[in-house]
Amino acid sequence: MKTFQLDIVTPTKVISEGQVEYLRAPSTDGLFGVEAGHAPAVIALGIGEIKVMRGTEIIYYSTSGGYADIRQEEVMILAETIEQAKEIDVTRAEQAIQTAKDLLGKDQLDHIPVKNAMERAKNRIQVSRRTELN
Amino acid sequence: MANLKEIRDRIKSIKSIQQVTKAMKMVAAAKLRRAQQSMEQARPYTHHLNGLITSLLPEVDRSDLDLLEIREVKRVAYVVITSDRGLAGSFNTNIIKKAQNEIDVIGKDKVDLFCIGKKGRDHFRKREYNIAEQHIEFWNDLDFCHASNIGSGIIGQFLTGRVDEIRVVYNYFKSIASQEIKTATLLPLLYDENNTKRIDRIYEPSKTELVKSLIPKHLNVQIWQFLLESYASEMAARMVSMDSATNNADDLIKDLKLEFNKARQASITKEMLEIVGGAEALS
């Protein structure tokens, strides 16, 4: 199978995945997949899970949004945060959900950022379960 | 000639000052290493995001987005990045001087200030400049959320039309030995309008939507980079100035020791002369 170069760049680190076969990422309205030879594109990413297939290896990441820059031979993901499934701190995510729930109880607050925070935390927990499957 | 006790006390006090400067140098060196590392880690992201936005900007109409608007410049916002603490050589003085010069050219009453760091805030508050926002005492736990906080304040000022241009004065980290003070224009975003090299590609969602979400992120990331550069520069400046302070203390101690020995010798000679004189008088 044909491969393409994948790099994930965040403000704190650069993860160079090397040559991969397949990438699945969450756009703002649904998942999309990339294989070698994809048409050039710029796609905004939403909160969700990134799946990377390299040889027999499957790697999962959680992301809170960013951009995918798809070019001829390479794909670059620019994300603000990215965590590999096995690195996710589930306790911290659960705490974040709890704080968000508490905040939602008070109605004088702006709910949108709180809901976003909750969604991000839920996504992290969901992605962290991926390690148990493998 | 100063008396022996005075010189001894001075040597002692200089030695204890030297210990402090030495410790500060060590701390600054350790912090510098960390700051430099996170600065270098952030560079690729800033670089690529910048590349992405500059390739997208020529494809959208300026009139579609509020943040792309170019207005006649009536009011300017200045973001001045200084440190919270002193003892960093001319780090703060230089940046304040440069910022003040630029502001005075425009006119004090036409400028809103965003003071990052206590030193700049104190300076401009004393001279009664318009301080719109201040962000102080966060350098020790510098985080991306500080940058986005500052960013959203600045963007707000631009969107409400209070200011028409936003400039940042900061220390650019060239190397440990040298930092350069730079002024950058954050908004409005300028780019080469004649760049007609269009790439045929898919956009999801639309170009305008992409640029709309990219600009605030781009600004935040830029501010983040400025903060990191400035923090690393501060540490480098402190390290260098504390190093020279330690060396100066060494020189001072050397001179004082020479003086001390001279005084000691003189007093011994004097005593011996007295003894000899006394013995001669007896015989």
Who has greater pLDDT, A6 or B54?
A6
pLDDT 10s digits, B79-122:
999 999 888 888 999 999 999 999 999 988 889 999 999 999 99
Query: What dihedral angle (degrees, nearest 10) is formed by the CA atoms of B137, B219, B47, B227?
Result: -10
For chain B, domain boundaries: 4-21+242-282, 36-240
DSSP collapsed to 3 states, chain B: CCCHHHHHHHHHHHHHHHHHHHHHHHHHHHHHHHHHHHHHHHHHHHHHHHHHHHHHHHHCCHHHCHHHCCCCCCCEEEEEECCCCCCECEHHHHHHHHHHHHHHHHCHHHEEEEEECHHHHHHHHHCCCCEEEEECCCHHHCCHHHHHHHHHHHHHHHHCCCCCEEEEEEEEECCCCCEEEEEEEEECCCCCCCCCCCCCCEEECCHHHHHHHHHHHHHHHHHHHHHHHHHHHHHHHHHHHHHHHHHHHHHHHHHHHHHHHHHHHHHHHHHHHHHHHHHHHHC
For chain A, domain boundaries: 4-85, 86-133
Using pLDDT thresholds of 50, 70 and 90, give the confidence band for residue A113: confident
pLDDT of residue B248: 95
B221 contact residues in A (CB cutoff 8 A): 11
- B45–A10: do the CB atoms touch at under 8 Å? yes
Using pLDDT thresholds of 50, 70 and 90, give the confidence band for residue A8: very high
Who has greater pLDDT, B190 or A38?
A38
Question: Average pLDDT of B7-17?
Answer: 94
Which residue of A42, A43, A78 is in closest CB contact with B56?
A42
Min Cα distance A11 → chain B (Å) is 5
Min Cα distance B123 → chain A (Å) is 32
pLDDT of residue B268: 93
- B48–A40: do the CB atoms touch at under 8 Å? no
Highest mean pLDDT among A46-55, B139-148, B209-218: A46-55
**Lowest-confidence segment of B25-29, B69-73, B215-219 by average pLDDT:** B69-73
- B205–A40: do the CB atoms touch at under 8 Å? no
pLDDT 10s digits, B55-78:
888 778 777 777 778 888 889 999
What kind of architecture, by CATH, is found in domain A4-85? Sandwich (2.60)
Chain B nearest-CA residue for A39 = B201
Is B36-240 CATH 3.40.1380.10? yes
**Lowest-confidence segment of A113-117, B227-231, B261-265 by average pLDDT:** A113-117
